[in-house]
Amino acid sequence: MSLQNFLSRLDQLQSDAESAFSGASNAESLEEARVVFLGAKKGQFKDVQKMLGGIEPTDKRAAGMRLNEVKNAINDAFSAAKEALEGGGDSQIDPTFDPSLPGTRPTLGHIHPITQTIDHLTEIMGRMGFEVAEGPEVEDPWHNFVALNIPEDHPARDPLDNFYLAAAGVSSGDALAETGEGESLLRSQTSTVQIRVMKSRQPPIRIISLGRVYRPDAPDATHFPMFHQMEGLLVDRNVTMANLKTVLRVFANNYLGDDVEIRFRPSFFPFTEPSVEVDFLWNGTWIEFGGAGMIDPNVFEAVGYDPEKVSGFAFGLGVERLCMRRHGITDIRDLYSGDLRFLEQF
């Protein structure tokens, strides 16, 4: 028998065996195909193997190598077909899978308690007619201090009590040496927004601004270097202190509850006159949550308003302290810890 005929017979055997194995629909038909091709006594492979004796001695090495390759290929095809029928193949459906059962629910994030508080405050003040205004977090001393009637010798302008920044071409050290202040700083209050709004609009004005402010305070249970404020501003004709107290009481009752006790204490702020501190009772202790007052005439003049024709009030409330009071949180640092065990509670 020629080598060429022998190799052709092997190729045909391999093709027929692979087709038979892959086409088996169950274990019984697969076993029948195995006996046909790999049977020890009457298998087709056994018959072809016997033909090796009729090959010329010079061609037997090549014929034997090809015979072994075909044998391994047929055995591999049988093993793959058997594994597929037993459920191990990728194309087979796991018989234990129940598509009617609910899937694995992915872990989803949710809104941070500070953001929840900001959204709630916005909704409450919106019901009283206040619209939201925004401003930059990097400010200049004029908007952060001068326009708010804060004199140069006021402790609030101390470089050690603010985060001054170096501007392009001017180092913060040079600016501090010349004026005691840098040319720009992270805003220390959201009152800067009311200045920008009044510079761009005429009364009546009724706005709130919520955002981050920065002061170099040592972190403790009630202080943090970065926190959030809600600034409120109302400017119109014949606005009085009674209007301010009413707005703050309505706000406190809506957010903190009807049972909350609040008080107003006389205070001083350069940008309001008269001024008050607003406190609420928490765990038997009065906690300050904001300052307020009637807008100082010097502030109106700085933005081009006539203080003889308009009046108004402003207030600033600490968002974190309101959030802590509502949720019973005793340490502000927990809000910025990033600890999911804590944050997942809200």
Per mean pLDDT, which of 66-75, 130-139, 155-164 is the most reliable?
A: 130-139
pLDDT band at 84 (very low <50, low <70, confident <90, very high): confident
Give start and end residues of each alpha helix (H) in the chain: 3-22, 27-38, 44-50, 60-85, 113-127, 141-144, 172-179, 191-200, 241-256, 297-302, 319-327, 340-343
Q: What is the pTM of this model?
A: 0.64
Long-range contacts of 33-42 (CB under 8 A, 24+ apart): 34/78, 37/13, 37/74, 38/74, 38/75, 38/78
Higher pLDDT, 234 or 153: 234
Determine contact, residues 258/245, Cβ cutoff 8 Å: no
Least confident of 21-35, 114-128, 189-203, 289-303: 21-35
Task: Return phi, psi of residue 286, to 5°.
Answer: -80, 125
Spatial separation of the C-alpha atoms in residues 81 and 22, rounded to whole Å: 6
Spatial separation of the C-alpha atoms in residues 290 and 319, rounded to whole Å: 9
Domain residue limits, the chain: 3-92, 113-343
pLDDT per residue as tens digits for the range 34-63: 888 888 777 888 888 888 778 888 888 888
What confidence score (pLDDT) does residue 300 get? 95
For residue 89, give every residue at least 6 positions away whose Cβ sits within 8 Å of its Cβ, in sequence order, or none.
Answer: 80, 83
Task: Return phi, psi of residue 259, to 5°.
Answer: -85, 0
Q: Which residues are known binding-site members?
A: 273
pLDDT over threshold 80, residue 89: no
> C-alpha angle 104/105/106, rounded to 5°?
110
First to last CA, the chain: 85
Helix (H, G, I), strand (E, B) or coil at 3: helix
Domain 113-343, second-level architecture: 2-Layer Sandwich (3.30)
Token pair recorded at residue 24: 């088996």
Q: Which residues are known binding-site members for Mg(2+)?
A: 273
What confidence score (pLDDT) does residue 87 get? 66
**Region 121-127: what's the mean pLDDT?**
95
Residue 211's DSSP bridge partners are 229
Phi-psi region of 51 (alpha: psi -120 to 50; beta: other; left: phi over 0): alpha
Please report, as a single letter, which amino acid is at residue 346: F
Query: Could you tell me which of 259, 233, 239 has the C-alpha nearest to residue 317?
Result: 233
What confidence score (pLDDT) does residue 199 get? 93
